[in-house]
A = this chain, B = another copy of it.
């Protein structure tokens, strides 16, 4: 078991109607905030009105900045930073999914920094401090509501990069499973794939004995798998959404990877894919992960046998490790497909001629991954496996 240093201080306020109290919660930190959100969905659902009413009631002044898109843009974050600095705003409230939250974190960090916020993503500077951020989560997926992460895309260079600093953890996050009832099927599927991928990145490891984390990963994966189809059968199944939403937070607050080496090669590979084709991150992960698994499983076949038995309940002669491991990978892929996700690069009209350029982007800062170290040539092989 590896040494670790773990602190996940975000307060999780989970359940029905909590969004109506957001003003009171915010008031403990600030009375002059940026209210950051995406397109019109929170206006259509009535959430926007509830938030604004609660902020007003608590006497919290807010400046609005909407328009966050999936794969949030550097340019909008820069606009937010300018706004925050001009208006002396000292708190950012994100109302939306991972893109809105990631954009809010970029604004919060940039507001306390004299240089350009993209420096943090390029590794030229570290986030030492940031404005406090809080979230009202509407899409369970990215886990950004309690993670120290933010992923941003520079539209000019078509670079999508993630960062990770403790100062980016939200002060509190409000999670009401009812917000998920109106999510369209693709967002349901993308979110479920994204949270499973967050666990996969932590689960597949060569760290020899890290059993508590094994069990946590397997348990949360099983809870997601058990509930996933329920939210397609009935999008208003509160308990199924509640399990998925809570699982999505736990998948990415850091806990599940403690005491072991994590991987993250597939995420970095996928970032190059969604940056180039503009697809949803979850959809990209559904394509990349099965291919990654087929490319790396021989590195530590025991890990994949455990995955097969403990997560998928595969009851197959264990003496044929290879067959068991491959069966688990097939099951994973079939599961993604059953949610309506793409599992081949052909489905998103990717071009073979882009593989080299995307692999170059994925490895721009050096080799990636840990379960098996991946160089540019390995990423190209993974793309080839995914092109079928």
- Chain A residues with CB under 8 Å of chain B are 1-16, 18, 172, 177, 208-212, 214-216, 218-220, 222-223, 226-227, 238-240, 242-243, 246-247, 250, 255, 258-259
Contacts and interface: CB of A to CB of B under 8 A. Distances in A.
B7 A9 contact: yes
Contacts of A8: 8-9
Given A211-B227, A212-B246, A223-B215, A14 B6 contact: yes
Given A1-B238, A1-B242, A8-B8, A212 B247 contact: yes
Given A5-B11, A16-B3, A208 B246 contact: no
Given A212-B247, A212-B250, A239-B209, A5 B12 contact: yes
A236 to B, nearest CB: 14
Nearest to A8: B8
A259 B14 contact: yes
Contact of A14 (B220, B239, B258): B258
A77 to B, nearest CB: 27
Contacts of A18: 3
Contacts of A5: 11-14
A220 B215 contact: yes
Contacts of A238: 1
Contacts of A246: 1, 212, 258-259
Nearest to A239: B209
Given A211-B243, A212-B220, A246-B259, A7 B11 contact: yes
